[in-house]
A and B are shown apart, each in its own frame.
Chain A
Amino acid sequence: MKSVTFLTVLFSLATALTAGAQPSFSGPPPSRTVVHDASVRRAQYLQRINEALDWRIAAIDRQNVAGTVDLAAVSALLARHQDIELCNQRVIELMKTPGSGPFWMFPTVCVSFLGRDQLSAEAKAAIRTAWKSFQIRGDTENHWAMYYTSVYLMSELYPNDPAESWFNGKSSAENRAEARAYLISWMDLATTVGQGEYNPSHYIGEYAIPMMLMARWAQDPAMRQRGHMMLDWIFAGLAESTLNGVLHGPNSRTDEGSVVERWNALASVFSWVLFGNTPPIAGYGGWGNYFMAIADSYEVPAVIYLIATDRSAPFLQRDLARSRRRWRYSAELFMPVYKTNYTTKHYAVGSYQGGISDPIQTHVWDVTWDVTDPRGIHNTMFSLHPLASNHVLQMYFSELPDTMAQDITKQGKPSYTLAGKIVGCSPYEQVFQDLDTVVALYDIAPGVEFPQVNGFFSKDLINVTEDQSGWIFAEGGDTYLAYRPLAPYHWEAYRHFDGGWAAKQEEIGGRLLVSPHLKNGTIVQAASAFDFKDFEDFKNAIRRLPVEFSLKPKPAVKMMTLRGHDIVVTYGEAPTRDGEKIDYAKWKLFEGPYLNAEKNSKRLVITHGALQRVLDFNTLTIADTVTQP
């Protein structure tokens, strides 16, 4: 069959609306002052929610309700208890042509619950009737989070309906039981060995919104609590993986826009509304509108807020995640993903160990530097092997062998089969990160498409210098960067698809360092400009670093990092740091100053200073403590 399983709607009417001001989107960047007063924080949080609702409602054109009143607009109106007749009218109209899966289901759930005591009987009946139309469950973790949350809540809303009244021929009780079982199974997996779709730039909404729905409206107190705890869990992960609100790598699933312009992601909408430390993207990211309609019932935990906003001291977090489910060509159902996140005031370096995490949309590693205003800035550096492979796709998708790659390019991932792409991961890449040093080695098999390494050099780098030493030096914001290609290279203009449905590529600035060699590698060292007298001082420090590397028989690097650690990285072998082998088997679910959890524990300890919140899925409890000085 023609694959529909990996398609995703990342667009909604809301992103296309232009009417009305979006103050935080178009205004000056938000203050980075950490707000310690809980009541002020709460007031600012609600203010941001209201800004988004104001904008969405202002975008309604009474002369063009069909074009401007979608389910997100209805949700905003219902949240404000206004224009209920318009809501009734639009719901009845929209339900005449039901959608066909999770991206339609959760918005209708949102409307159903917001409108429980407001919508007319006819409008409610229209939704209920639409839910008799067959709904596709999808095949990804986010699809199922949306689908089963929606099924669960609707089956609670209509608890006694018979099997024939539901799209899948199962009664309310059966649907509720199945949905509950899956959601608990998913939470068990995420809280023991990690999430599959970790740190997604856009899909965070596809988890956060369903969990918010669950936390707000599940009748079963245990499920309501689970929703709340998963929200905290997801937002704690967002907090530690952002630099002043901007999500950095690695990312299980992302796209060109977010990889190049790190801020340009739905994740920024969540940073904005929860933490107030970065502007939201246009239209509040489309899906973000649903979150705004229901988010007033959520209290951002102080400890998570502080982790997100406090960048006064560098920190190192190590997290465990997992790959997408592998159907074939693999000895394991999930590949463990060992993430490293080193964040300072001026930059963040993030990575996982390489290999295929998601076959299409993964971003393995990067350095992301801070900028005062991230809008339009390409504040990142990374390299990758641009793999395109039907065989790899078949690992993850139950598809026939010949057409997947070409299909993907027509289904929202237009760069998949291009040599110059900048999104993706490869089985021929191995990455080791030690604080702000990254060594990425490549041993690309002969015959593989495309036999090259692409390094991304942003338009916003300055003083890019190809040094005789072999290093390429550059400055990004207050960050000094040194990039060492291990094989010969040339430069190509970076060509960009502006969105998944863009028909053609455009040059938007930036270059690719293209190294067309199978045996290959990249070393990147980042540092704060404030740690050096000047850029030249940094260059000299890098030139003095002992670095040895060879590419045959296997790429290997032996070097001392700028932080004074001896690292040895050989492709296909465990890296060593100061003579000690990195033992990934000992990797915890979370380990660092902020987030800590043992593997298989279902218990996350979130800490910042004196504040601590423990999410314990074994007991379904949230425990807050404050350590007295």
Chain B
Amino acid sequence: MIERRVISVIVLNEHGVLTRITGLFAARGYNIESLTVAPIPGSKYSRLTIVTSGSLRVIEQIIKQLHKLIPVYKVIEHTDLIEKEMVMAKIPLEERLADVEALCRAYNGNIVNIGQDSAIIMAADEPSRIANFVSALKRFNPKEIVRSGVVAIER
């Protein structure tokens, strides 16, 4: 059975640490669906949020192998968590912007910029809802869609 998992990894901010993590996934053929990284404010650590999938045995190995890396401080396998993802998109000005705005609002979003020929919209919500949002957005002929990847925090 293939399971989807969100794993947070707290790592020392040092040279090459991200390659160590991604290299581990690549070398063993593990899957990365999304990966976000940012420093933890006021510390020498960064937090990575990795969305991955695999059988229970694979997930167990991923966790153990992550633990084994020297600069890894902590691996958190989330069970009860809040997940959010952000998406931005560029919509041509010819589209019905009132409808676009209504759609955005339904997904915690907004129009954040209007330029010469396109409007930029943004929404932040649960990853599955963001997926719905993106497919609903298709109707308005988006020129570009950028997703941020998932961030998560324990409840």
- Do the two chains bind? no
B: which residues have CB within 8 A of A? none
**Interface positions of A (Cβ within 8 A of B):** none
